[in-house]
Amino acid sequence: MRPVFSVVIPTHNRREALRGCLCALTLQELPRDAFEVIVVDDGGSEPIEDVMQGFHGQLNWRLQRQERSGPATARNLGALTARGENLAFTDDDCAPSPEWLVELQKSLAMHPGSLIGGRVVNTLAGNWCSSASQLLIDYLYASYTENGAPRFFASNNIVLSQRAFADVGGFDESFPLAAAEDRDFCARWTRDGGSMVYAPSAIVRHAHSLTIPEFARQHFRYGRGAYQFRQRIVRRGGQGPRMEPLSFYLGLLSYPFAAKSGVGAGSLRISLLFLLSQAANAAGFLREALAFPSTACGGKHQ
Instruction: Compute the distance between CA of residue 282 and CA of residue 224 in angstroms, rounded to an integer.
Output: 9
The pLDDT value given to residue 300:
46
Per the DSSP assignment, residues forming a β-bridge with 102 are none
Nearest-angstrom CA–CA distance, 88 and 267 = 33
pLDDT given at position 56 = 93
Give the single-character DSSP code of 115.
E
Dist. CA 298–CA 143, nearest whole Å: 30
pLDDT at 61: 97
**Vertex 237: Cα angle to 234 and 241 (nearest 5):** 40
Q: How much is the pTM?
A: 0.90
Is there a contact between 124 and 44 (Cβ–Cβ < 8 Å)?
A: no
H/E run at residue 221 = helix 212-235
Q: Which residues pair with 127 in a beta bridge?
A: none
pLDDT at 241: 61
pLDDT < 70 stretches in the chain: 238-242, 259-265, 294-302
| Of 40, 262, 38, the residue nearest 132 (C-alpha) | 262
Contact 79, 165 (CB under 8 A): yes
Q: Let me know: does 139 contact 223? Beta carbons within 8 Å.
A: no
pLDDT of residue 1: 81
pLDDT digits (tens, 9 = 90+) for 226-246: 998 888 888 877 666 667 788
Please report the pLDDT score of residue 180 as a whole number: 86
Residue 297: what pLDDT?
40
